[in-house]
């Protein structure tokens, strides 16, 4: 019997404790060798590989990527932007979403409920670089009526890890 709601949800999705342990291990180190992962999980390398392939095929694992240091790569300024559109019609939403998809300077875009329509996450070298980006990209996106910018003064926590029971 599951001992928490996340584990119960995982069970409903067809995952078991071993799947959760594999996902948790891969979340910590996506480059872990299959043999080392198998040793950590306590299964044969063949069984672990089959599970990882199934978890990938079923969409639980979306892919693997390196986390880069934005400070070392000239993108140390983190900025969140609220976007309010001039109209909230399916056509305007579709145009906005399509335009955002092709902008590499926009790291994340989320449609939200509340006083504005979208929340964007961007990175820039500095305030001058962000100002250029705002004028050349953000304010030119289709349907944008208003934006509010929040420059981050300190990143307290930055994680992509989902909480999984072990």
- My answer on whether 33 and 92 are in the same domain is no
Residues in the chain where the model's pLDDT stays below 70 = 1-7, 9, 166
pLDDT for res 5? 67
Instruction: Assess if residue 43 is contained within a domain.
Output: yes
The pLDDT, as a whole number, for residue 12 is: 76
In the prediction, which pLDDT does 31 show? 96
Question: What's the CATH code of the domain at 40?
Answer: 1.10.10.10
pLDDT, position 32: 97
Q: How many domains does the chain have?
A: 2
Where does residue 154 rank: exposed (0-12), middle (13-18), buried (19+ CB within 10 A)? exposed
Residue 71 in domain: no
pLDDT at 126: 97
Using the CB atoms, write b or e for 36-53: b if 16+ within 10 Å.
Answer: ebbebbebeeeebeebbe
Query: Does residue 102 sit in the same domain as residue 138?
Result: yes
pTM: 0.85
Q: How far is CA 155 from the centre of its chain?
A: 16
> Based on the domain organization, do 81 and 147 belong to the same domain?
yes
pLDDT at site 3? 58
Q: Give the model's pLDDT for residue 29.
A: 95
In the Cβ-directed half-sphere of 88, how many Cα atoms lie within 13 Å? 10
122 located within any domain: yes
158 secondary structure, DSSP code: -
Query: Are 41 and 94 in the same domain?
Result: no
Q: Residue 11's pLDDT is what?
A: 75
* Confidence (pLDDT) at 1: 47
CATH number at residue 133: 3.30.70.920
């Amino acid at each position: 019997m599951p001992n928490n709601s996340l584990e119960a949800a995982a069970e409903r999705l067809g995952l078991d404790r071993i799947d959760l342990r594999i996902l948790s291990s891969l979340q910590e180190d996506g480059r872990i060798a299959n043999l080392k992962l198998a040793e950590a999980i306590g299964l044969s390398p063949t069984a672990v590989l089959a599970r990882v392939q199934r978890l990938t095929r079923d969409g639980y694992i979306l892919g693997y990527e390196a986390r880069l240091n934005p400070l070392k790569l000239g993108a140390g300024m983190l900025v969140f932007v609220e976007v309010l559109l001039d109209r909230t019609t399916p056509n305007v939403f579709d145009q906005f979403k399509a335009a955002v998809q092709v902008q590499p300077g926009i790291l994340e875009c989320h449609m939200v409920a509340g006083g504005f329509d979208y929340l964007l996450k961007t990175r820039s070298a500095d305030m001058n670089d962000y100002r250029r980006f705002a004028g050349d990209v953000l304010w030119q996106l289709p349907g944008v009526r208003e934006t509010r910018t929040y420059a981050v003064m300190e990143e307290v926590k930055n994680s992509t890890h989902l909480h999984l029971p072990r």
